[in-house]
Structure 1
């Protein structure tokens, strides 16, 4: 399988896919998800899931971004089916998001009529603009006007509580993630869909889903630096593999 660009999304299509994953990444790494999230997305494709990773550029208007990535995703599916790359038979669609990508999937499920078999929300983040965007206070020329995302964090939580329609959800939080806000999200979702929301606490940090397959070549003499490198690589892969296992266990519970 090779990555291909279709209607501004990057796709991986395995033979006879059993489901479709729509992936949205974090705010500052989402412009090239086929590169920044390559390892985890390729693992999902190897397990039989068609992957559609939609890039986006972050702006203050998150509603507009959510609308745009949904339109790109649906256009990509239409073209893949028109070319017979994807069958027109029913395949369950799962949203998978990391960091800001979680917020976008939540907005899609709250503002638009979509059919989703479920969403996987990894390291949910819903901070206000002045905390999420470095140096925003320095570029705000009018101190009486507060720059903020649309919708704001409070408005986002209210939308989810009142209008979110994706019933089955898996929330993933990493043990060393200081900017994760999954704890507040799970309270909102469990009130809306009791018994349909699961949460997993996994080892790792906010950047764990970005881990890549890095070859560590030792020299003729195995040095302490090589030993440290191998130890770091094993740690990264241990966390990545556990993330992969939890995602697949939720996608295929039986």
Structure 2
């Protein structure tokens, strides 16, 4: 059976089913570009599909309350596990295919990949998977504690207790941006961000609160990180004010069971974007390069390597 890279709408996501996948990648991108992931991340997805992964592209969801958005991704994964399996069964009946349906029902076959702000949602889910998340949140959020707990409880209300976790599912963060109100609104309108925060209408959890969550957690054992040398949004390994520099410090901390899995590559924040046109990757992005030769692009090779290493680590922790 010919393996065809093709996205199908399933639930609220776009899914490219590999007939015999080695794993399932759940992807959430950044603002705007992540809203149309199959268009803007086309080459990245196709390379991972060709490597043997089923790709689930979750459209970016904008909002200032990030806990409900993060938990909605968990709900989507739970929903997709059965729906993708049923789609595979359907294709086996109607197209005489040889799709492996059972792999989709196994939570341990899933990976998370985030780009930019999408990484924040994955980070919140990882933190939420720890046993002491509520006490850590109470310490970190302080006066915002009650509102956050209420939103979390309201969001997870319909999720069975045993499903409220992504523990055992490796994650790869690409140019992570732990956005808050200041970074969500253009700098010329910074006064609006200050007004929203003062009124309690700004982004929650904030950048500082999210970092506090991670610092108090013993998880993030199966987290990889890819950064870019000229990234002025997430920063790089030398930018002490950036989120990348902070994440590197966390992934090197003493409570981690494995050495840090990190690679800094040439490029800017939007490096993952692009479609193949001949022997070049074209991203049509006026804020970045217009095109680059495929031979110079390293992101997909590093991603594939990291996914393999993260799965090896996950198996060691079982």
**Structure 2 length-normalised TM:** 0.68
Distance 2:20 2:196 in 1: 55
Report the CA distance between 1:238 and its aligned residue.
4.3
Tell me the secondary structure at the aligned position of residue 27 of structure 1: coil
Tell me the secondary structure at the aligned position of residue 262 of structure 2: strand
Tell me the secondary structure at the aligned position of residue 197 of structure 1: coil
- Whether contact under 8 Å (1:56, 1:69) holds in the other structure is no
The answer to whether structure 1 residue 198 and structure 2 residue 261 are counterparts is yes
- 1:25/1:46 CA distance change after superposition, 3 Å: same
User: CA RMSD, aligned part only?
Assistant: 2.6
> 2:126 matched to which residue of 1?
109
- Whether contact under 8 Å (2:182, 2:194) holds in the other structure is no
Distance 1:119 1:152 in 2: 21
> 2:292 matched to which residue of 1?
234
Report the CA distance between 1:122 and its aligned residue.
0.4
The answer to whether structure 1 residue 247 and structure 2 residue 299 are counterparts is no
The answer to whether structure 1 residue 94 and structure 2 residue 111 are counterparts is yes
Report the CA distance between 1:130 and its aligned residue.
1.8
- 1:143/1:40 CA distance change after superposition, 3 Å: closer
- 1:6/1:200 CA distance change after superposition, 3 Å: same
Report the CA distance between 1:197 and its aligned residue.
2.7
Report the CA distance between 1:164 and its aligned residue.
6.0
Structure 2: any 5+ residue segments left out of the alignment? 90-98, 130-164, 235-242, 280-288, 313-318
- 1:142/1:175 CA distance change after superposition, 3 Å: closer
- 1:238/1:59 CA distance change after superposition, 3 Å: farther
> 1:130 matched to which residue of 2?
182
Higher helix share: 2
> 2:140 matched to which residue of 1?
none
Matched residue count: 239
The answer to whether structure 1 residue 41 and structure 2 residue 104 are counterparts is no
**Structure 1 length-normalised TM:** 0.84
Report the CA distance between 1:142 and its aligned residue.
6.8
Tell me the secondary structure at the aligned position of residue 292 of structure 2: helix
